[in-house]
Chains A and B, each alone.
Chain A
Amino acid sequence: MGISVKNISKSYDKVMALKNISFEVKPGELFGLIGPDGAGKTTLFRILTTLLIANEGEATVAGYNVIKEYKSIRNHVGYMPGRFSLYQDLTVEENLNFFATIFGTTIAENYDLIKEIYVQIEPFKDRRAGKLSGGMKQKLALSCALIHKPKVLFLDEPTTGVDPVSRKEFWEMLKRLQKKGITILVSTPYMDEAALCDRIALIQDGNILEIDTPEVIKNSFPKRLFKVKAAETFKLIQDLGSYEQTHSAYPFGEYIHFTSNNVDFNAKDLVQYLQANGHTDIEVNETAPTIEDTFMELSK
Chain B
Amino acid sequence: MKRFIGFIQKEFYHILRDRRSLFILFGMPIAQVLLFGFAITNEINNVDIAILDHSKDATTKEIIAKIAASKYFSIKQVIDNEAAIEPAFKKGHIKAVLNFENDFSKKLISENKATIQILTDATDPNTANTISNYTASILKNYQGDLNKGATLSYQIVPKTRLAYNPELKSVFMFVPGVMTVILMLVSAMMTSISITREKELGTMEILLVSPLKPFQVIIGKVVPYILLAVINAIIIVLLSLFVFKMPVEGSFFLLGAESLLFIINALSLGILISTIATSQQTAMMVSLMGLMLPVILLSGFIFPISSMPLPLQLLSNIIPAKWFIIIIKGIMLKGVGIEYLWKETLILIGMTLFFIALSIKKYKIRLE
Whether A85 pairs with B366 at a CB distance below 8 angstroms is no
Q: Which residues of A contact B202 (CB under 8 A)?
A: 81, 83-85
| Interface: A3 (CB within 8 A) | no
Q: Which residues of B contact A85 (CB under 8 A)?
A: 201-203, 205-206
Which residue of the partner chain, among A46, A87, A104, contacts B211 with CB atoms under 8 Å? A104
Whether A81 pairs with B206 at a CB distance below 8 angstroms is yes
Which residue of the partner chain, among B13, B17, B212, B367, contacts A102 with CB atoms under 8 Å? B212
Give complex CA distance A52, B364 in Å: 11
Within 8 A of A (CB), among B1-52: 2-3, 5-7, 9-10, 13-14, 17-18
Chain B, interface size category, equals 20 to 34
Q: Determine the residue in chain A with the shortest Cβ distance to B205.
A: A81
Q: How many inter-chain contacts with C-beta < 8 Å in the A-B complex?
A: 79
Give complex CA distance A11, B10 in Å: 36
Q: Which residues of B contact A94 (CB under 8 A)?
A: 10, 13
Q: Which residues of B contact A104 (CB under 8 A)?
A: 2-3, 211
In the complex, what's the smallest C-beta–C-beta distance from A298 to chain B, in angstroms?
30
Q: Mark A40-53, 1 if CB is under 8 A from B, else 0.
A: 00000010011111
| Interface: A77 (CB within 8 A) | yes
In the complex, what's the smallest C-beta–C-beta distance from A90 to chain B, in angstroms?
6
| Interface: B82 (CB within 8 A) | no
Q: Mark B206-228, 1 if CB is under 8 A from A, else 0.
A: 11111110000000000000000
Q: Which residues of A contact B167 (CB under 8 A)?
A: none
Give complex CA distance A78, B52 in Å: 86
| Interface: A299 (CB within 8 A) | no
Q: Which residues of B contact A52 (CB under 8 A)?
A: 366-368
Give complex CA distance A77, B206 in Å: 11
Whether A53 pairs with B366 at a CB distance below 8 angstroms is yes
Q: Determine the residue in chain B with the shortest Cβ distance to A94.
A: B13
Give complex CA distance A53, B205 in Å: 14
Give complex CA distance A132, B133 in Å: 68
Whether B13 pairs with A90 at a CB distance below 8 angstroms is yes
Chain A, interface size category, equals 20 to 34
Whether A102 pairs with B210 at a CB distance below 8 angstroms is yes
Whether A102 pairs with B7 at a CB distance below 8 angstroms is yes
In the complex, what's the smallest C-beta–C-beta distance from A197 to chain B, in angstroms?
22
Within 8 A of B (CB), among A68-116: 70-71, 74-75, 77, 79, 81, 83-90, 94, 97-99, 101-104
Whether A89 pairs with B13 at a CB distance below 8 angstroms is yes
Give complex CA distance A98, B9 in Å: 9
Give complex CA distance A49, B191 in Å: 27
Residues of A within 8 A of B (CB): 46, 49-53, 70-71, 74-75, 77, 79, 81, 83-90, 94, 97-99, 101-104, 144
> Given A81-B206, A86-B206, 17 other A-B contacts at CB below 8 A?
A46-B367, A49-B209, A50-B209, A51-B367, A52-B367, A71-B211, A74-B210, A75-B211, A77-B209, A85-B203, A85-B205, A85-B206, A87-B14, A90-B13, A97-B6, A102-B3, A104-B211
Q: Jot down 9 A-B pairs with beta carbons below 8 A, ordered by A.
A: A71-B211, A75-B211, A81-B206, A86-B203, A86-B206, A90-B13, A94-B10, A99-B210, A101-B3
